[in-house]
Amino acid sequence: MKNDYVKKPDWLKVNAFPGENYMNVKNILDSCNVNTVCDEALCPNRGKCFNENTATFIILGKVCSRHCAFCNVTSGLPQCVDDEEINGIAQAVKKLGLQYVVITSVTRDDLEDGGSAHFAKCINSIKQMNPTTHIEGLIPDFNGNIKAVHRVLDTPYTVMDHNIETIPSLYQKIRPEANYQQSLDVIAEFKKYKPHNISKSGIMLGLGETRKEVKQVMKDLRAIDCDILTIGQYLRPSKQHTPVHEYIHPGVFDEYKEIGLDLGFKYVESSPLTRSSYLAHRAYTHIIDNK
């Protein structure tokens, strides 16, 4: 079985050298004492994003209550919720001059509301301090608590996102504490509760899925009126994570994009280095421009 310690194909090589603006962004993030999924998840695009003056913020601490086999975010006993995050992130958005920002979080099954109240406060704080900024919320499943989902949906967000991550048959291996149908139900609630707002989800490839299974996930998402889909290559963060089963050729990602558009997604971002929050503003802009 292949893994990330076998030479990666050329299409997965990225320039790791940070650009001129990289340290400026790092310094602003550090001064505001905020965390980014860019660093915590070892995103391959973080150098490019930081240099382009953008980042994806991660809230509710740096420790996740779940143990997904693909994710580099630390698992274990979660930290106390830090209310300083609320103002810190709003300040970071202002200092960076962001017009589009993505907020995500670790999963907090230890909290009665899954951290939804804190999530909502962070979005509201950003909007109050940065009224013209568009906000994308990338939420966990809140253990299927629909009231918690509604709490975040009641904020002035622009796009709401929950990643389906993989095919149903791989959930026990890849997301053992999650449930495929539960994640679908959360995404479905986005449109049920706010029919005119934009919904989004994403899936990783290279974990052992078949093309038929990927297409079925896409159909499942369209059946609940999901607007935006991201498709990217799984990259193994360490030896402790599940191995890469296959490196998918860029041409296959192009094929999935066409399939997704034919199914009715309003926007599909599909490439080996695609991540849920990477170039997120581009999808929103495309949808608004084509209304």
Q: Give yes or no for residue 50 having a pLDDT over 70.
A: no
Neighbours of 180 (CB within 10 A): 19
Strand partners, 161: 138, 200
pLDDT reported for residue 44:
61
Q: Are 178 and 144 in contact (CB under 8 A)?
A: no
Q: Alpha helix locations (H) across the chain?
A: 22-31, 37-40, 46-51, 84-96, 116-129, 146-153, 171-174, 180-193, 211-223, 250-263, 280-289
Q: Give yes or no for residue 40 having a pLDDT over 60.
A: no
pLDDT reported for residue 239:
85
pLDDT reported for residue 48:
60
CA distances from 192 to 147, 181, 185, 196, 225 (A): 13, 16, 10, 9, 9
pLDDT reported for residue 35:
78
**What pLDDT, in 10s, does the model give residues 238-276?**
888 899 999 999 999 999 999 999 999 999 999 999 988
**What pLDDT, in 10s, does the model give residues 88-115?**
999 989 988 888 999 999 999 999 999 9
**Residues ≥6 apart with Cβ < 8 Å to 97:** 53
Average pLDDT over all residues of the chain: 89
Give the pLDDT band (50/70/90) at residue 66.
very high
> Residues of 195-212 as b/e, b for ≥16 C-beta within 10 angstroms?
eeebbbbbbbbbbbbeee
pTM over 0.75, yes/no? yes
List domains and CATH numbers for the chain.
10-289 (3.20.20.70)
Question: 124 exposed, middle or buried (CB, 10 Å; 0-12, 13-18, 19+)?
Answer: middle
